[in-house]
Amino acid sequence: METPEWDEVTEWAREYLLDSTDPHAQLRRAGFPADFVADLPLTSVSSHNARALVYASRRSIAGQVRLLRALVLDDRLRNLPDVTVAEGFLAQLERDAAAHDAQDVFRTCVLRGGSEVFLDRDDLRETLRAFVADAHKSVLLVDGEPDSGRSYTYSLIRHLAQHRGFRPARIMLEPTTTATKVVRRLAAFVADPRAGVAPPVPTGLDDLLPALDEAVHWVVCQATGAEDLFWFVLDDCDRLDPGSDVWDLIGQLALAIYEHEPVRREQAPRLVLLGYGPAMRQLPHDLRHSLCWDRARPAGPVDVRAFFDRYLREQPPPSLAALAAGERDAALAALVDVAVEEVLAAAAGGAGESYMRRLGTAVEGAVRVCRSL
């Protein structure tokens, strides 16, 4: 559904679901879950409430279906011609939901409409599946040797964000990165300019930063109360100087998220630390049951072959799709051999970029060639 359709849905929600002095109770009577309703920033203004309801519902396909079902079941809308339009929207969303449910987004290899690939990392995929499903897990740590693809993890996280309704906010760390810089970046991510609330994190060069603990708790509190569900991603943790004050910030940030989790579990932010190994600064002891770990490793020839074998059989080039089964299988096997050979040769050369980045770029180029055959 596009913006004009959602504008129409917003107007229906204002008129039929939120025309009440107690919008929370009215939404619960309409069948919305109590915890979902409690998290909505509802006011006495029905138009604002309608926008908040639609915004929150659009985070997931299931939420969109739930909203349209509530509308088509409303007695007042059912007696109007608009119900036919609403039923059409609902039917479209139910088809989208069925197609989405048939896909396992955690196993996806080709991302962003086919312009990006994500190789291997079966363990990471299952770790992320468990992390997303368990609201009690608040910190994901990804370790691995340099050039093993730790930062590559972010590609899959971005893909999952589109399907699981969260917003990743990534900060790249460097040896000179300070806690002040990280807090300011996080505050910029979570601050809502529409609310008119200024963050306690100054922006002027001569302004003093308040106590780190105060600033961290403000950031986490804002994120927990925001319409978006935030994942804070700190990348290249291993590049930090051993004496950096960012290590203290990471511990305080992880602990603040942990402390907010029981209050508003479904809306509390998550923390992802890429390049964070067991030998680095230990996180607070209270977090020991809230952590998920993954260890990255470079993809090799077996992984590249497995990717092309799966991809080309699921999406054969148009020139091969019409062939008889036996002939098509032989042609696909030969194409897999060629693709693997060319990709490994391309990834072996070059300088300046990491091996996993070169490998990913080579695979993406091969995918484009296969699609053009």
Q: pLDDT per residue over 252-280, tens digit each?
A: 999 999 987 666 667 889 999 999 988 88
What's the confidence (pLDDT) of residue 373? 77
What's the confidence (pLDDT) of residue 196? 42
What's the confidence (pLDDT) of residue 245? 92
Which residue's entry shows tokens 């942990």? Answer: 258
CB atoms under 10 Å from CB of 81, counted, come to: 7
Contact (CB, 8 A) for 122 and 86: no
What's the confidence (pLDDT) of residue 58? 85
Contact (CB, 8 A) for 71 and 89: no
Q: Which residues in the chain show pLDDT less than 50? A: 193-198, 203-208
Residue 262's nearest CA partner among 292, 228, 286 is 286
Helix (H, G, I), strand (E, B) or coil at 270: strand
CB atoms under 10 Å from CB of 75, counted, come to: 7
Q: Quote the CA–CA distance of 92 and 80 in Å, as a whole number.
A: 20
Residue 217's nearest CA partner among 197, 203, 201 is 201
DSSP symbol at 107: G
Q: Quote the CA–CA distance of 61 and 66 in Å, as a whole number.
A: 9
Contact (CB, 8 A) for 13 and 32: no
Q: Quote the CA–CA distance of 200 and 216 in Å, as a whole number.
A: 10
Q: What angle do CA 284, 285, 288 make, to 5 degrees?
A: 105
Residue 192: Cβ-neighbour burial (10 angstroms; 0-12, 13-18, 19+)? middle
Largest CA distance in the chain: 72
Tokens encoding 63: 């939420």
Check: pTM over 0.95? Answer yes or no: no
Pairing, β 167-172 against β 230-235: parallel
What's the confidence (pLDDT) of residue 50? 92
Contact (CB, 8 A) for 21 and 98: no
What's the confidence (pLDDT) of residue 203? 44
CATH superfamily of 121-296: P-loop containing nucleotide triphosphate hydrolases (3.40.50.300)
